[in-house]
Amino acid sequence: MRQRRTAKGLAQADLARELAVSRQTINSIETGRYTPSLPLAIAIARFFGTPVEEIFHADHD
């Protein structure tokens, strides 16, 4: 997710604002410390215009 975010030229705070979550949550997702809920995962995937499974994998976060 970090690669997709940086490719869009977005800071964590920018993505957090777009997804209506905290910057800490974006950071925790990117570092694998937090697994987002299904609605948030879908929202992230939609934001990047990609299927959920291309960003989140069952074998690793």
Partner 1 sequence: MQITTKTSRTYWITPAAGVACGLIYLIAFSLGGQPGYGLIALGVMVAFSAAIALIGRRSETVRGLLDHRDERLAGIDLRATAVTAVAMILAVLAGFVIEVAHGHDGAPYAIIGTVGGVAYLGAVGYFRVRS
- Sites of contact with partner 1 (CB under 8 A): 13, 16-17, 20-25, 28, 34, 36-37, 40
Tell me how far, at minimum, the Cβ of 56 lies from partner 1, in Å: 15
Tell me how far, at minimum, the Cβ of 17 lies from partner 1, in Å: 5
Nearer to partner 1, 38 or 50 (CB): 38
Nearer to partner 1, 34 or 47 (CB): 34
Q: What are phi and psi of 28, to 5 degrees?
A: -65, -35
The contacts of residue 15 (CB under 8 Å, 6+ apart) are: 5, 26, 47
Q: What is the DSSP secondary-structure string of 7-33?
A: HTT--HHHHHHHHTS-HHHHHHHHTTS
